Amino acid sequence: MNTQTNMATTEVKPSSSKNPKKARNPSLAPKKDLKKNKKKTKAPAFDETVERNDGEEQQPASGSEQLSFFLKQLESAVGVRVSALELDPIKDKCVVELSEKLDQNVSNLGEHIKMCCGSSWRETLCEGEVVEGKVDPGSPAVLVVSSSALRSLELIRGLHSLTKQCPALKLFSKHLKVEEQVSLLKKRVNIGSGTPSRIKKLIDIEALGLSRLDMIVLDMHADVKGFSLFTLPQVRDEFWDLYKTCFHQRVLEGSLRICLYGPMPAAPKLRNNKKQRQNQD
């Protein structure tokens, strides 16, 4: 009887540990901050971001809206204001209005350019031989201008269906020497894709000709950091220097068309959209 009483007393007797905190149930201990152990989400690929923005956020702009946007950017960047008198003869044709049936992404670029060239697209974009008095060597019909060498390469891949006979020329400086590009420009070139600084350099040394140039395609897509051709500081300045020096007068004369390829966010949003883009991603 005494033995049973002693056992019962032992069962309910409190722990004699000097540090009761050590005896605390582990399940009741405060949980660690899960945010610290959370894996970082990988940034989406460039074109994934573009397609999401095109499909969900960006609506195709009309030709007049694109022209207004471009002229505001021009005036803001270099202080050039186009008067109503200068604009009136060209306002309906200087900006290309792309088909709304196709998304403006890398894979559709070739098809968009093909439609812009009309019935002569094959002769303009695909033929590979120089035609004396008509097609000068090193003079493309289309120039695609983007913010980086990587983006230029992506856009060239979107032109593959048009460049089997006459490859698109890479007009950027990364891993490419000027001398190599000068050599390639001695042949027929229908389409060139590159960055503003190298394009201007090749024009300045008279290696890249403008005699056939009918359209400049300006890549408006923003990268994962929110920067584009019109907002990446150094590239932005280089582009407007190129445009003002080599293209603006031709646009006013009606001999050169502008194609804004991709969404056209307002400049202030691009500068202050870091948190917003993080929430979207």
Domains plus CATH for the chain?
63-261 (3.40.50.300)
State the Cα–Cα distance between residues 133 and 135, nearest whole angstrom.
6
pLDDT at position 53 is 43
The residue type at 66: Q
pLDDT > 70 in the chain, percent:
73
pLDDT at position 43 is 40
Quick check: 2 pLDDT over 80? no
Longest dimension (CA), the chain: 123
pLDDT band at 279 (very low <50, low <70, confident <90, very high): very low
Interval 43-95: pLDDT, tens: 434 444 334 444 444 566 888 899 999 999 999 999 999 999 999 999 889 99
Average pLDDT over every residue of 182-194: 96
pLDDT at position 275 is 45
Sequence-separated (6 or more) residues with CB below 8 Å from residue 166: 125, 126, 127, 128, 188, 189, 190, 191
Compute the mean pLDDT over every residue in the chain, rounded to the nearest whole number.
81
